Amino acid sequence: AQSVTQLGSHVSVSEGALVLLRCNYSSSVPPYLFWYVQYPNQGLQLLLKYTTGATLVKGINGFEAEFKKSETSFHLTKPSAHMSDAAEYFCAVRPSTDSWGKLQFGAGTQVVVTP
């Protein structure tokens, strides 16, 4: 079975500072990994995903994440935070052998951006 751990339920960053959200996973087979963002009163939308190939993945809104197999991690970063980045972020995992698309989500990290 797979699981996802997001370190820190709340993160506060200053506008212009680095955003770093941590995600560690456990999976018995190579995983597909996802980061989703949820803005207030909205559904989740995909930020980026890792499937195979290049371990540094670029997504929308300037975010990127790096898959590190040895550390079982998929941390999300953005070099310079913007006020519009205030949202909740979810890491999710799916075993690559699962052909049906069930995702296991982490508990989420709420990001607050201060001026």
Partner 1 sequence: DAEITQSPRHKITETGRQVTLACHQTWNHNNMFWYRQDLGHGLRLIHYSYGVQDTNKGEVSDGYSVSRSNTEDLPLTLESAASSQTSVYFCASSTLAGGSNTGELFFGEGSRLTVL
**CA Rg value for the chain:** 14
**How many residues of this chain bind partner 1 (CB under 8 A)?**
26
Q: Which residue has the tokens 């997001």?
A: 6
- H-helix or E-strand spanning residue 102: none
User: Three-state SS for 29?
Assistant: coil
Q: Which of 59, 62, 72, 98 binds partner 1 (CB under 8 A)?
A: 98
- Of positions 11, 44, 57, 65, contacts partner 1 by CB under 8 A: 44
Question: Distance of alpha carbon 88 from its chain centroid, rounded?
Answer: 10
Q: Using the rule CB under 8 A, which residue among 22, 77, 86, 105 binds partner 1?
A: 105
**Between 70 and 102, whose beta carbon lies closer to partner 1?**
102
Q: Is 41 in the site for partner 1 (CB under 8 A)?
A: yes
